[in-house]
Chains A and B, each alone.
Chain A
Amino acid sequence: MAAFFNKRNIVVGFILLAVIFPFITRNDYFLHVMTLAFIWMIAVYGLNLLAGYTGYLSLAHAGFFAIGAYAFGLLTVKAGFGFWPAFLLAPIITTAMGFLIGLIALRTKEHFFAIYTLCVGYIIYLVIDKWEGLTGGVRGLIGIPAPSSIGPLTLSTPIAQYYFVFVILLLVIFVIYRIIHSLTGRTFIAIRNSEELALSLGISTTKNKLISFVLSTFFAGIAGVLYACFIRFIGPDIGNLNITFDLLTYMIVGGIGTMSGPIVGTLLIVWLSQNLQFLQDYRMLIFGPLLTLMVIFSPRGISGLFALWSAKRTRKLKPKTSNVEEQA
């Protein structure tokens, strides 16, 4: 299992790189971009769990992201909750909403599910935008507290916040990894392959789809909360469909249904958009074709390509494996 050690080395390498990143750049703006990218990654992981591993493409993801952010914002700004209670409560609120919406949304399938959730996402956006009494409407919510210190650890500097978000990202990846590589994950994947087959194997698809949906909203909620306390201002735009499609692009370019896809896709696109800022909206001229090419030539994104490449390479290294005979 040489590939296993390779994988482990890559993971350790990435973690180390992320840990020393603040010392390499010394640039607060880059740190800010990176922290934001980590937050998006958490949301993309949630989306990937549902769309990539369970086969249900939800387009309400930014909606749940916004619910998480607004729940946190309202709890702290208007309800006077402390940072940590709100930090814990907001994802729970998001999850509860996700549960209720999931109950209804999951009565539909495939395109209809995508269309239904698209509408749900838009409704969430509209509610936030129009319900001025609660959310402040287009003016948004200001004065959201930054992460308060954990004992002697203060989380007010950009570097501290970077590590704070990074630790939560690692936790999220760890939890997702555990889920995917367990019987629960296998159950989700079975549903993605064929719901009929899963049913006839005795899997309660209704229950498992709901679990996956609720989990995905939970991760969207966490990402939303982190966004709110990191940016400290939220407007209805964070629930906009654009955000959903951004997350979708990160996922597809990185690799839908892969463990590393969300990281690869998010990093690539976020940095590309940073470096191509002089092109303004013409950037889409690059992202559009990139996305199309990805979908056509590598449905499992960059991570999928890489997996294919490394599989071929190991086969070349070990020509005696039975796979080669099969290929011939």
Chain B
Amino acid sequence: MFLETKRLTKQFGGLFAVKDVDFSIEEGKINAIIGPNGAGKSTFFNLVSGLYRPTSGQVLFKGKDISNLKANKVAKLGVARTFQTTHLFEQATVFDNVIVGHRLRTKANLFDSIFHTKRLKREEEQCKEKALEVLQFVGLEHAVDHLVANISQEEKKRVAFALALATDPEIVFLDEPTAGINPDETAELSELIEKMAENGLTICLIEHKMQMIMNLAEQIMVLNYGEKIAQGTPEEINRNEEVIKAYLGGSTSA
């Protein structure tokens, strides 16, 4: 398995935000996590990407236990992620925002910066090339010099994608990539996500838009109250009694 969680648990005080979740992500596919608000989806992402330390359980990436690695170390291994809110620097250009995305693959330190060494020049060039490359990939070549403050919400999402891609990841976690975006733009972002998968990236996303997920994902996990209640192909999830109950209300979630 490419990325796998084993009985992954995160407890905040008495509350289990994520409880005993076993999930495996298949390489090169588009995986999705769905669930009602507060189901623990984002917590799950934070655990996998190293922002939170699990209370118990494990996260394995290519067979290696990464449960207790810090987020920056996890990123270096090739696990990238985006956030629900894009966190971009609004007063800078799109290009400037993305350059730092490749920083983790460079070695230039303070000394290089002050003395403007060959290594710094080479690595800055490398970061800039990477930024242009990923901006082209996400379809933002026209907006490279625009201030982030002046671009649309959908374009900001693309910038966030570009940032994640600039880290040279093998797997990308997308936290609600189409939140706050209109249906047309959602379709366009879906295409981009498919294009990423076609390029050999493994994708795992959180989404609320059912239509989109059902068309996009090859494998879906459903979380409710921090626990996995179902996992399978979109068809299987569509038919699953418990999932319907969790979404439409019923005795379990009353």
Contact = CB atoms under 8 A, between A and B. Distances in A.
A186 B87 CA distance: 15
Contact of B103 (A179, A186, A326): A186
A215 B76 CA distance: 26
B80 A182 contact: no
Given A201-B163, A203-B72, A190 B124 contact: no
Nearest to A324: B150
B64 interface: no
Given A196-B51, A202-B72, A205-B72, A183 B104 contact: no
B110 A193 contact: no
Nearest to A304: B91
B6 interface: no
Residue from A197, A198, A327 whose CB has the most chain B CB atoms within 10 Å: A197
A182 B51 contact: no
B113 A184 contact: yes
Nearest to A307: B91
A183 B106 contact: yes
A119 interface: no
A114 to B, nearest CB: 21
Contacts of A186: 96, 99-100, 103
Nearest to B96: A186
Interface in B141-177: 142-143, 145-147, 150-151, 163-164, 166-167
Contacts of A300: 91
A318 interface: no
A190 B114 contact: no
B83 A197 contact: yes
B49 A200 contact: yes
A179 B114 contact: yes
A310 to B, nearest CB: 14
Contact of A201 (B50, B103, B116): B103
A323 B150 contact: yes
A185 interface: yes
A221 B93 CA distance: 34
Contacts of A185: 113
Contact of B127 (A183, A189, A202, A204): A183
A200 B127 contact: no
Contacts of A323: 146-147, 150
Contacts of A184: 108-110, 112-113
A190 B88 CA distance: 9
Residue with the greatest number of chain B CB neighbours at <10 A, chosen from A179, A199, A200, A326? A200
Interface string A175-219: 100110011111101100110111111111100000100010000
A202 B75 contact: yes
Contacts of B99: 186
A204 to B, nearest CB: 5
Given A182-B112, A183-B108, A200-B75, A326 B51 contact: no
Contact of B110 (A201, A204, A211): A211
Contacts of A196: 51, 71, 83, 87
- Chain A interface: which size bin? 20 to 34
B87 A199 contact: no
B83 A178 contact: no
Nearest to A327: B150
Nearest to B145: A322
A323 B143 CA distance: 9
A327 to B, nearest CB: 6
A215 B110 CA distance: 10
Given A183-B106, A199-B75, A200-B71, A193 B113 contact: no
A178 B167 contact: no
B176 to A, nearest CB: 15
A199 B81 CA distance: 10
A149 to B, nearest CB: 28
Interface in A215-229: 215
A301 B127 CA distance: 31
A264 B109 CA distance: 30
Contacts of A204: 70, 72
A197 B143 CA distance: 22
Contact of B108 (A182, A189, A197, A201): A182
Nearest to A182: B113
A244 B116 CA distance: 32
A135 B222 CA distance: 66
B151 A326 contact: yes
A190 B76 CA distance: 16
B247 interface: no
Nearest to A191: B100
B142 to A, nearest CB: 7
A230 B127 CA distance: 44
Interface of A: 175, 178-179, 182-187, 189-190, 193-194, 196-205, 211, 215, 300, 322-323, 326-327
5 contacts: A178-B113, A200-B51, A201-B103, A215-B110, A326-B146
Given A184-B108, A323-B147, 18 more contacts: A178-B114, A178-B115, A183-B100, A183-B123, A183-B124, A186-B103, A187-B103, A197-B87, A199-B75, A200-B72, A201-B75, A201-B104, A201-B163, A201-B166, A202-B73, A204-B72, A205-B72, A211-B110
